[in-house]
Amino acid sequence: MGSIESVIHKLGEKFLNEDTWVAIGESLIKIIVILILAGIMIRIGKLMIHNIFKVRSKSPLRTSERRENTMMRLLDNVLSYVVYFIAFMMILSAMTIDVKALLAGAGILGLAVGFGAQSLVKDVITGFFIIFEDQFSVGDFIRIGQFEGNVEEIGLRTTKIKNWTGEVHIFPNGSIVEVTNFSLHNSMAVVDVGISYEGDIEKAERVIKEFLETLPEKYEEIVKTPELLGIQSFGPSEVVLRIVAETLPMRHFFISRMIRREIKVCMDEHGIEIPYPRIVMYSRQGENQANEPKKLGSE
């Protein structure tokens, strides 16, 4: 009991000592100043990084915009990690904790943790090679497994993609085995147009070719004049013609819709019939009566 009372007495004297509270106050002020300076350094550092990439965008030696966006996001993350780590070490030092001994112990502990955190190391290494090899960049439309979307962020540990309905999928980089990138090269829009068997195929082909010549002027997403390949197949009630158009990456969906709309208007203007489903019925009413086919359509 005497030892406990002596310990309590010493603690009481220490906390009632004016120098103790002065030291605590100084430590709190140092911590607050360190956090404020860390926030300022991160903001200034990110501003410098963004300005550097703005200057590079005007240089003749610039890289692709998609790669610049990826590197900019990555450098922002690395800057934040480094500044916060330094700030954390300075806070420990302000609290009179021996940082050198802590780092030495952390090195030994890191070896032990490293064996148990192999997936984390794998994520970081894979993330480095994704960026170094430019497999995909921020803004690209990619497919990872069964998920598709635009790349929102690439970090050293995780990759975030956002699909068209708004969900954000987060993948550890080490789990990314196969990636399909739709944004590296131009896309191809494929449109099939049906012409009725009774229609004039030669006239339809001529009208479509003349129509395709006007599309590059209307839509800047079209890289070159679309091409009419010819008859693709014979359907139940139509002859199918195929049109292909090279577009900017991931703009083929939009161009396909626009071509279908323009084709419908063009066909109507030239009186070319686009077929609709029909049912043909034959009836036998007697041997002496001619069998006349009756066509039932949507008229």
DSSP secondary structure letters along 203-230? HHHHHHHHHHHTHHHH-TTB-S--EEEE
Question: Average pLDDT of each block of 10 consecutive residues along the chain (299 residues)?
Answer: 59 61 76 87 86 67 62 78 84 74 62 63 80 79 88 84 88 86 86 85 88 88 88 85 89 89 87 74 59 47
Question: 116, 144, 162 — which closes off a domain?
Answer: 116
pLDDT value for 299 = 39
CATH of the domain at 206: 3.30.70.100
CB 161 within 8 A of CB 147: yes
| Residue 122, domain member (yes or no) | no
CATH of the domain at 91: 1.10.287.1260
| Residue 291, domain member (yes or no) | no
What tokens were used for 297?
């359509």
| Residue 77, domain member (yes or no) | yes
pLDDT value for 298 = 44
C-alpha 156/C-alpha 140 separation (Å) is 17
**DSSP secondary structure letters along 17-73:** -HHHHHHHHHHHHHHHHHHHHHHHHHHHHHHHHHHHHHHHHTSTT---HHHHHHHHH
Q: How many residues are given for the chain?
A: 299
CB 179 within 8 A of CB 209: no
**3-state SS assignment for residue 74:** helix
Q: Which of 270, 291, 269, 288 is nearest to 280 (CA)?
A: 291
**DSSP secondary structure letters along 267-290:** HHHTTPPPP---EEE-----SSS-
Q: Are residues 229 and 210 in the same domain?
A: yes
Q: Are residues 167 and 81 in the same domain?
A: no
Amino acid letter, 107: G
The conformation of residue 166, written as its DSSP 8-state character, comes to S
| Residue 249, domain member (yes or no) | yes
**Residues in CB range of 274: below 8 A, 6 or more apart:** 193, 194, 195, 196, 238, 264, 267
What tokens were used for 237?
């009630």
Note down the domain range covering 90. Answer: 2-116
CATH of the domain at 133: 2.30.30.60
Q: Are residues 245 and 201 in the same domain?
A: yes
| Residue 298, domain member (yes or no) | no
CB 221 within 8 A of CB 254: yes
CB 135 within 8 A of CB 179: yes
Q: Are residues 193 and 261 in the same domain?
A: yes
Q: Are residues 135 and 88 in the same domain?
A: no
Q: Are residues 193 and 262 in the same domain?
A: yes
The conformation of residue 6, written as its DSSP 8-state character, comes to H
- The long-range contacts involving 35-42, CB below 8 angstroms and separated by at least 24 positions, are 35/87, 35/91, 37/87, 38/83, 38/84, 38/86, 38/87, 41/83, 42/79, 42/80, 42/83
What pTM did the predictor assign? 0.52
- Measured between its terminal Cα atoms, the distance across the chain in Å is 106
| Residue 281, domain member (yes or no) | no
Q: Are residues 238 and 200 in the same domain?
A: yes
Q: What is the pairing mode between strands 187-196 and 158-162? A: unpaired
Q: Are residues 56 and 20 in the same domain?
A: yes
| Residue 149, domain member (yes or no) | yes
Q: Are residues 192 and 104 in the same domain?
A: no
Per the DSSP assignment, residues forming a β-bridge with 180 are 143
Q: Are residues 46 and 96 in the same domain?
A: yes
Q: What is the pairing mode between strands 227-234 and 238-247? A: antiparallel
Question: 64, 88, 116 — which closes off a domain?
Answer: 116
Q: Are residues 17 and 101 in the same domain?
A: yes
| Number of domains the chain contains | 3
What is the CB neighbour count within 10 angstroms for residue 140?
Answer: 23
Q: Are residues 22 and 38 in the same domain?
A: yes
| Residue 201, domain member (yes or no) | yes
C-alpha 246/C-alpha 226 separation (Å) is 7
